[in-house]
Amino acid sequence: MKSKTNIFVLMLLAVITCIILFPVYTVLLNSFKTRSEMLVSFLAFPKEFTFDNYIITIQKLKYVSRFFNTLIVTVLSVTGIVFFSALAGYKIARTQSRLSKVLYLLFTLSMLIPFHSIMISLTQISKIVGVRNSLWGLSIINIGLGVNLAIFLFTGFSKSIPKELEEAAAIDGCNEFQVFRYIAMPLLKPIAATVAIIDVLWIWNDLLLPLLMLTSSKDFTLVLGINQFFGLYNSDWTLALAGLILTSIPAIMFYLVFQKYIIKGIASGAVKE
C-alpha cells in the first residue's frame, strides 16, 4: 500500500518543488543569454552560453567592493553582538539580584518593538551621534539592535550549564573575566553559533537599515547595490539578471555550508517543548 501512495506523493512534491525553483532557474538561464537571444524567448534554452553579462555586471555593480562592504559590516556586527551579549547574558544568568532581573527585562522587552516603529527616530539619533554614512557606524547600530535577542538566548543557555567548574576556577584564583574567558566561553559555544547564524542571515540580507544609514554609493552593501542597480538597469534585463544571481550566490553558499545548523536552529527555536 505504501509504495503506491509514494509515487503519487513523489510526483506532487516534485511538481511543487519545480514551481518553487522555476523563478531561480529561469533567471539563471536567461543570465547566460545574449540580448538578441533573450528577445526571441525567455523560456527557451540558450543556444550558446555567454559570460559577458557577468563580466560587465561585476564591474558595473562594483561587486567585489560591495561584497567586502557587506562582509565587513556582517563580521563587525556579529562579532560585537556575540561577544557583548555573551558577557551580559552569562553574568545576568549567574547573578541573583534585583538588578539582574531588571537588566534582563530591560534588554528583552524590546524584542516586541518592530524596527519600523523606531526607524524615524533612529535615523535622527544616528545623525546626532554621528554614526551615519559609515560601515562601522552601521555595525554598531546593528549591535545595539541585535543584543536583545542574543542576550535572551545567552541568558537562557547559561542557566543550563553547570556552575561547579567556574567555582573551582574562582577558588584557584581566576578573576571574573578569566573565569568567563577560559571556563564559560567554551561552554557557551553552541548557543554562540546559533546566535551568529541568526544574525549573519539577518545582517547580510538587511535592506532597510542600510538604506537609511548609508547614502554614499561607495559604502553600499550587496543588497543596497542591487537595489540601486535594478533601478538603473531595469530595462536591460541581461545585466539585471546576472546581478540578481551574483547577489544571491553568497547567501545560498552560506546556507549550503551551514545548512545543518540553520535547520536545527529554526526547528529547535520553535519546537522546544
Partner 1 sequence: MKLHKTKTLVLFSLPAFILYFVFMVLPAISAFIYSFTDWNALYKDFSFVGFDNYVEAFFDRNFIGTLSLSFRYVITMVLIQNALGLTIAVLIDSMKRQSIWRTLVFIPNMISLITSAFIWKFIYTKVFPEISAITGIGIFGESWLGDATLAFWAVTIVSVWVGVGYTMIIYLAALQNVPVVLKEAAIIDGASNLQTFINITYAITINVFLTLNGSFKAFDQFLGLTGGGPGRSTQVITLNIYNEAFAGNFRFGYGNAKAVILFLIVLIITLIQFRVMRTENS
> What letter does residue 114 receive in the DSSP assignment?
-
Q: What Cα–Cα distance (Å) separates residue 97 from each residue in 80, 100, 101, 104, 241?
A: 26, 5, 7, 11, 57
| Nearest-angstrom CA–CA distance, 224 and 235 | 19
What residues from 240 to 269 belong to the interface with partner 1 (CB under 8 A)? 240-241, 244, 247-248, 251-252, 254-256, 259, 263, 266-268
Q: Which of 30, 128, 135, 40 is nearest to 80 (CA)?
A: 135
Please report whether residue 184 would count as binding partner 1 according to CB under 8 A.
no
Burial class, 36, CB count within 10 angstroms (exposed 0-12 / middle 13-18 / buried 19+):
exposed
What residues from 23 to 82 belong to the interface with partner 1 (CB under 8 A)? 23-24, 26-27, 30, 41-43, 80
| Nearest-angstrom CA–CA distance, 210 and 126 | 12
Q: Candidates 49, 51, 68, 95: give the one binding partner 1 (CB under 8 A).
A: 95
Please state the closest distance from residue 20 (CB atom) to partner 1, in A: 6
Please report whether residue 171 would count as binding partner 1 according to CB under 8 A.
no
Please report whether residue 217 would count as binding partner 1 according to CB under 8 A.
no
Please state the closest distance from residue 262 (CB atom) to partner 1, in A: 8
Q: Candidates 58, 84, 170, 193: give the one binding partner 1 (CB under 8 A).
A: 84
Q: Candidates 61, 92, 153, 214: give the one binding partner 1 (CB under 8 A).
A: 92
Please state the closest distance from residue 54 (CB atom) to partner 1, in A: 16
C-alpha grid cell, residue 229:
542597480
Q: Which of 131, 132, 150, 246 is nearest to 197 (CA)?
A: 150
The footprint of partner 1 on this chain (CB under 8 A) covers a number of residues equal to 91
44: enclosing H helix or E strand: none
Task: Collapse the DSSP code of 200 into the 3-class scheme (helix H, G, I; strand E, B; otherwise coil) and give the result.
Answer: helix
Please report whether residue 178 would count as binding partner 1 according to CB under 8 A.
no
Q: Candidates 188, 195, 198, 226: give the one binding partner 1 (CB under 8 A).
A: 226
Q: Candidates 61, 141, 149, 214: give the one binding partner 1 (CB under 8 A).
A: 141
Please state the closest distance from residue 224 (CB atom) to partner 1, in A: 9
